[in-house]
Amino acid sequence: MEKQKPKKLCQWNQEDMSKAYKAAKLGQMSIAQASKTYNVPRMTLSDRVKGKVAMDAQMGASTVLTSEDEISLVNYIEYMAQRGFPLSVSQVIGFAWCIAKEHPGARVFNESGPTEKWWRGFKKRQPEMSLRRPDPLDRGRAAMGNVETMRDYFKLLKSTLETNDLKDKPERLYNCDEAGLSLNKSSGQRVVVPKRFKHAHSISIATSEHISVHCCVNAARHSLPPILM
């Protein structure tokens, strides 16, 4: 005899449950009709309509951190990522442990703190979070990469071009750039950032363990031989 697969739990969403609850509560449908119409479990709907279970109740045990605590943690993760200091999983777990300790008498983690299981549950509850490999961002670029600084730069550039009559002389306009090729091995540790972030910049300090390549090209597409250091 073929073994039956266990039924999956909670195959409905909160929006459908809310619609079914409203229809049954207002007498627009019976509980059975609302259950069938919105594809939600009849007994689960019945418990909510009769007040046995709260409308926002979720399956499984309650989480150690409250919803407000988790939202605050998500906001802090985003705050740090925006400033070039994205948090690693271990750091997020550490902050969660600190938050839990601020609520004496509530549910707490065990002596060793939150586990990887907690992290997986947190990530599932906060689907906007994702793991990325950080993109190193030099401190100088981070400090100068703001709107006011760039606006002043382009004002100065425009004034310089007009003063020296260079606007129609592309062959005299050169752009130089120095790129560093790091010889250090990356730690490989991924960081936590919101999914909408295109990059996960992580501010780093330049070290001597690298090779520098200096390139120079003008606006007429002519280049000078690169310099390696």
Quick check: 33 pLDDT over 90? yes
Contact 34, 24 (CB under 8 A): yes
Q: In this predicted model, what pLDDT tens digit does every residue of 99-153 receive, in sequence order?
A: 888 876 555 677 777 888 888 888 888 888 887 776 666 555 666 667 888 888 8
DSSP track, 96-163: HHHHHHTSTTS----TT---HHHHHHHHHH-TTEEEE--EEEEHHHHHH-SHHHHHHHHHHHHHHHHH
Q: Which residues pair with 57 in a beta bridge?
A: none
pLDDT attached to residue 161: 92
pLDDT tier at 32, thresholds 50, 70, 90: very high
Q: How many CB atoms lie within 10 A of CB 45?
A: 23
For the segment 47-105, what is each residue's pLDDT rounded down to a tens digit? 888 887 766 555 545 567 888 888 889 999 888 888 778 888 888 888 888 888 887 65
Rounded alpha-carbon distances, angstroms, from residue 163 to 32, 36, 158, 176: 81, 76, 9, 21
Compute the distance between CA of residue 28 and CA of residue 191 in angstroms, rounded to an integer. Answer: 49
Runs of H (alpha helix) within 41-88 = 42-49, 67-82
What are the Cα distances from residue 15, in Å, to 19, 20, 107?
6, 9, 28
pTM here? 0.43
229 vs 226: CA distance, rounded Å: 10
